[in-house]
Structure 1
Amino acid sequence: MAFGTQDDTDEVMNEINMTPLVDVMLVLLIIFIVTVPVMQHSVNVDLPRASNERQLEQPRSVRLSVDAQGRYFWNDRRVDDAALPGLLATEAARDPQPELHIRGDRNVRYERVAQAMSAAQRAGVKRIGFVTDPREN
């Protein structure tokens, strides 16, 4: 609806209807009024102070190797099946607990590696990793 009188003549209308523009601006104003406090809202928390220095001591690791014949080696020293659980339990009791790196020969039966993992789990070892050779054949 235009304001003023309109004649039947072909004159150019020189008035702009401002009502839709004002409606859009009011809706945008309401949206900003509602959303800005939500974006600015935060909870004031007094955080504790702590130093975050780098740990200079590297965590210890233990190598458990299984050769192609299925024999166990504890840090390159031959170990029989009966002594393995005792060694694992000793390492699991240390603080901090060292990482156990299992190195299985590609030709060994998976059963021997699974037995070593099972013994480590029963002993309480929490951190177990597998060592592989990154070279492609």
Structure 2
Amino acid sequence: MAFASFDAKRSGAPMSEINMVPLIDVMLVLLVIFIVTAPLLTQAVKLELPKASSQVNDLRPERIEFAIDAAGTLYWNGEAVTRAEAQRRFALEGRKPVQPEIHLRADQNVPYRHVAFALADASKAGLTKVGFISEPDAAR
């Protein structure tokens, strides 16, 4: 700390040290103000919060294997169905809260219109998760 000196040589020289006492006083006053006002700033609102369980919700979508053979016959999970029956089943699946995944397998020799009809029927029913299943290329 710098104090005044009775030395004539140094009496006019500026003080080279910072006086920390006023800084500490200000900091202590601010600390007291924050300690007093912090509890006043918190306002509690009484709420009835909903109860939730900690069990895991398994929402994995169901898989539907939809196949079209070379003759244009439709298969729903291995069971032969008509186009009207497939449309009805697509509509039922489209109403579910968790939409199933449609795995579409089509023979390479089937006319594309059968595949297009199946995609259109699924789309009309509101199903958006359609995947195409194919065989890997043996040449690679």
TM-score (norm 1): 0.57
* 1:128 alignment partner in structure 2: 130
Match of 1:70 among 64, 72, 88: 72
Match of 1:101 among 100, 103, 117: 103
TM-score (norm 2): 0.56
| Secondary structure in structure 1 of the residue aligned to 2:84 | coil
* 1:11 alignment partner in structure 2: none
| Contact 2:63 2:100 (8 Å CA) reproduced | yes
Structure 2 runs not aligned, ≥5 long: 1-54
Instruction: Give the deviation of 1:56 after TM superposition.
Output: 4.7
Which amino acid letter does the alignment assign opposite residue 86 of structure 1? R
| Secondary structure in structure 2 of the residue aligned to 1:70 | coil
Q: Percent identity?
A: 33
Answering whether residue 94 of structure 2 is matched by residue 88 of structure 1, we say no
Aligned equivalents of 2:77 and 2:131: distance in 1? 15
Instruction: Give the deviation of 1:136 after TM superposition.
Output: 1.8
Stretches (4+) displaced over 3 A: 53-58
Instruction: Give the deviation of 1:127 after TM superposition.
Output: 0.7
Match of 2:118 among 98, 116, 119: 116
- Deviations, residues 37-81 of structure 1 (Å, cap 9, x unaligned): xxxxxxxxxxxxxxxx98655321111100010010000000011
Instruction: Give the deviation of 1:134 after TM superposition.
Output: 1.3
Please, what is the CA RMSD of the aligned residues? 1.9
Match of 1:58 among 57, 60, 68: 60
| Contact 2:67 2:75 (8 Å CA) reproduced | yes
